[in-house]
Every structure is written in C-alpha cells, then in structure tokens.
Amino acid sequence: MTTVPLDSERPRGTSAGEGLGRSLRRSSPRYGERAIESVLFLAAFLSVLTTVGIILSLIEGTRAFLAEVPVVEFLTGTTWTPLFANGSYGVLPIVGATLLITGIGVVVAIPLGLGAALYLSEFAGALSRKIWKPVLEVLAGVPTVVYGFFAISFVTPNILTPLLGDGLSRPFNALSAGLVIGVLIIPIVASLSEDALSAVPQSMRDGALALGSTRTKVARKVVLPAALSGVVASFVLALSRGIGETMVVVIAAGSIAQLSADPREPMQTMTAFIAQAASGDQPTGSLGYNTLFAVGALLFAITLFVNVISIRLVRRFREVYE
C-alpha cells in the first residue's frame, strides 16, 4: 500500500503532482540513449560531409575549365563537341536533352504512379495490397542497365516503330529512353505517394463518407489535397532521379549532342556524356578532362535547385494532423 505524505511532510513549495513528476523524471539520459544519439548524429554528419566532399571534388576541375572557357559561352552555346580537336563548349544541347528525356519520363510516371498509389491506399483490399505493392516495388530493384536494353530491344522495335513508322528511322532516340525512365521512376512516385495518402487520418474519410460522398470523390477531394505535400515531394524526388539516370540514356538515347525538340532523334544527356568521356583516354588536367567536372558541377547545381524547390513546396502545402 502506497502512503502519500501529508502536506506537512512535503518540502515547502512542492505539490503532490510535482513530487511525483520529479521522481519519474531522470536528471540525465541513460548511457544507451547517449550512444544511440551519438550514432544518429554521426550518420547525419557523414551525410553532410559527403555532400561537402562532392562539392570540393568538383571545384578545382570546374575552376580550371572556366579559366579557359568563358561562362557565357559554356551556358549559352548551342554546339557541344568538347572532345574534338577544335572543340565547342556550349552545354545547351546536352542540358536540353536531359530535360526533354526527364520530362517525358515524368509525364509517364506521375499519372501511373499516382494512380497506383490512390488504388493501393483507397480502393485495394488487404490481400490486394500484399500482392501488388511488393510487385510494384520490384521495379525499383531492377538494374538500370536492364532497363536500357529493354528500351532498345523491345520498346523501340515493338512499340515505337509500329506507331511512328518511318518517323523513327534510328534505333537510338530520346522518346524510347524517356518512356523507360518513366517506368523506372514509377515505384518512387507510387511508394512515397501511397505512404503520404495512408498517413491522412481515417476520420477525414469517415466524415466525408458520412456526408454522402463516394469513395472516388473522397479520394479526389479529401485525401489527395490533404496529402499534397507528400505527393509533391514524391514528384520532385522522381524528377531528380530521372535527371541523374545514366545507363538508360547511354544505351537507348544515343551519343549525338544536338539541340532539338524532336524526341524521335538521338540525343546525348549530361550523364551520358560524363559516362562516355570518363571511360575515354582524356589526359588528366587537359581541357577535355576538366569538362567532366564542369558538366558534373552543372548537373549538381540543377539537382540542388530541384531539391530546394521541393523543400519550399513541401513546406507550403504541408498539413499536420494530430
């Protein structure tokens, strides 16, 4: 039997609740908690340190490249032949190809990924979720080189050639690469969007259904707006993944750096150029070698810009539920 001390026996200025709270509260964390906190801090610090290391590794080569090639010529030029004897260093052709192919991929991935997420979150039963979600996420584990061969050996000859006919005269083209990149990033959109949709409180669904709304209207008018921040974050993450994809574009898009808006043409992206030039015989310290760092720095800047926009959008549309 627990005996509660009388008011005369308590320290002056201390109530019963305060005394109980003080007895349950530790003055310092346990050693295990401190160790876990230190490990988590080390993980976060290593992540930041890795980013700083990437930036430092790009600075010297980029500085050496810009010492020989003006920034304006690099960013606004329309001819990209840096590995030729009398090279041209206008980066717009490979930047345009990168954005075009990634745009095609995003157009494919967003509706399919969001549709899959809405189905898994709002309409699928427990058994269907157990079957279809792992099957969908298997796509994320397929090596990207397999996607590249899938694009050039199946998508182009069996889908695009019958549809476009003579309009697609070459096996390498931006359209095939963009479509397959879209398939590649569908699991990112679907998985992250489904997590965001599932986090919406069930009470919001029940309230909308009680007012006579259909399940489709609840998903479209209630759940999707409530999870908009997470959905937008999945879109931007998929965009970043598409921009950085290498093997698909190396195999399927070709290696011709040309500034064109026609996706039926072969093109070279920024990552494809880096893969091609890095596997060549460029002497260390030469202008062609430093081109790799300049393109890598620009690609890093584009990805960083996309992530900054993502953070701003997520904070703007973020909903917090208790």
Asked if pLDDT for residue 233 goes beyond 70, the answer is: yes
**pLDDT score, position 270:** 92
Structural domain 94-317, CATH architecture = Orthogonal Bundle (1.10)
Q: Write out pLDDT tens, residues 13-36.
A: 555 455 545 555 555 667 778 888
Q: Which residues of 174-190 are buried (b: 16+ CB within 10 A; e: fewer)?
A: bbbbbbbbbbbbbbbbb
Q: What is the mean pLDDT of the chain?
A: 83
Gyration radius of the chain's alpha carbons: 27
The CA distance from 141 to 315, in Å, is: 30
**pLDDT score, position 206:** 86
Q: For residues 262-283, give the mean pLDDT.
A: 84
**pLDDT score, position 189:** 92
Q: Write out pLDDT tens, residues 281-299.
A: 777 778 888 899 999 999 9
Q: Write out pLDDT tens, residues 38-54.
A: 899 999 999 899 989 98
Smallest CA-to-CA distance from 68 within 286, 298, 303, 296 is with 286
Asked if pLDDT for residue 112 goes beyond 90, the answer is: yes
Smallest CA-to-CA distance from 147 within 66, 251, 17 is with 251
Asked if pLDDT for residue 3 goes beyond 70, the answer is: no
**pLDDT score, position 236:** 87
Q: Which residue has the higher pLDDT, 195 or 20?
A: 195
**Residue 314, token pair as written in the block:** 């997520």
Q: Write out pLDDT tens, residues 126-185.
A: 888 888 888 887 888 888 899 999 998 898 888 888 888 766 657 888 999 999 999 999
Owner of token pair 């460029």: 282
Smallest CA-to-CA distance from 126 within 198, 186, 190 is with 198
Asked if pLDDT for residue 7 goes beyond 70, the answer is: no
Q: Hey, where are the domains in the chain?
A: 94-317
Q: For residues 191-197, give the mean pLDDT.
A: 89
In this prediction, residue 313 has a pLDDT band, given cuts at 50, 70 and 90, of confident
**pLDDT score, position 166:** 66
